Amino acid sequence: EEFEREMEEMLPLNQENISCVLGACLEKEPHLLVMEYSEHGDLYQFLQNHVAESTNLPHSHAETLSYGCLIYMATQIAAGMKYLEQNNYILNDLATRNCIVGEDHRVKIADLGVSRNVYPADYFELPGRGDCPIRWMAWESIIMDKYSSRSVVWSFAVTLWEILTFAREQPFEDLTDEKVMENAKIYEKSCGKPITLVQPIGCHKEVYDLMCECWQRKEADRPTFKEIHMFLQRKNLGYKHHRSS
């Protein structure tokens, strides 16, 4: 029933940064959903296979990505999320592993539903709720099982952090899952200073400031995706994207 509900919600979605549903079979179990995919795989793998344009590793054979290109990709995710926000669609698992990359660094959001199997270390079982991506989740989603567009804004900032670190480490890599849970409780009780993700190397201050705004305790203090998209578009104004031939 949950699968059918999710599919019915996804079918009307039509935006260039949202991976579309190509077909579905609901007549008998197991239910099947056919979604668009990409030859370049998911964004997490794509980032892992690249290095910063400014890298000075002498023997690195990995392809490079400029800072502008990273922001360009993040802006596309923000555009897709703005569309979902406008359509009151709540995406509960936004992360680089759930975005796909096409030609010319085109990025689409695609909650493929397979991430729990492919990336089991990114999930932690919460009582009565199954496996949850707690390192990407807003504190109120972890503690109160409360989801909103503003809780997804929190996840977007973690995704942006992943992009700017080339997904080289898991968010809060130095913390156990239990410590991540404790950190969420600090937000809940407003006692002490919670641990936040550090500013990525090469990340401009104003972009990191945006991340921190997205991690505000109060949902109302976090920006909307409309505001985030507008901000990133401005940051990307000078970027000239070179299409592949």
Decide: 236 and 72 in contact? Cβ < 8 Å: yes
CA distance 92 to 194: 22
DSSP reduced 3-state for 130: strand
Cα dihedral 112, 166, 158, 35 in deg (nearest 10): -10
Show which residues are catalytic: 93
- Burial state string for 81-119 with b = 16 or more CB within 10 A and e = fewer than 16: bbbbbeeebebebbbbbbbbbeeebbbbbbbbeebeeeb
CA distance 62 to 75: 24
CA distance 231 to 245: 30
CA distance 142 to 132: 8
Burial class of residue 57 (count of CB atoms within 10 Å of its CB; 0-12, 13-18, 19+):
exposed
Number of H helices, E strands in the chain: 9, 8
The tokens for 225 are: 């995706």
Burial class of residue 50 (count of CB atoms within 10 Å of its CB; 0-12, 13-18, 19+):
middle
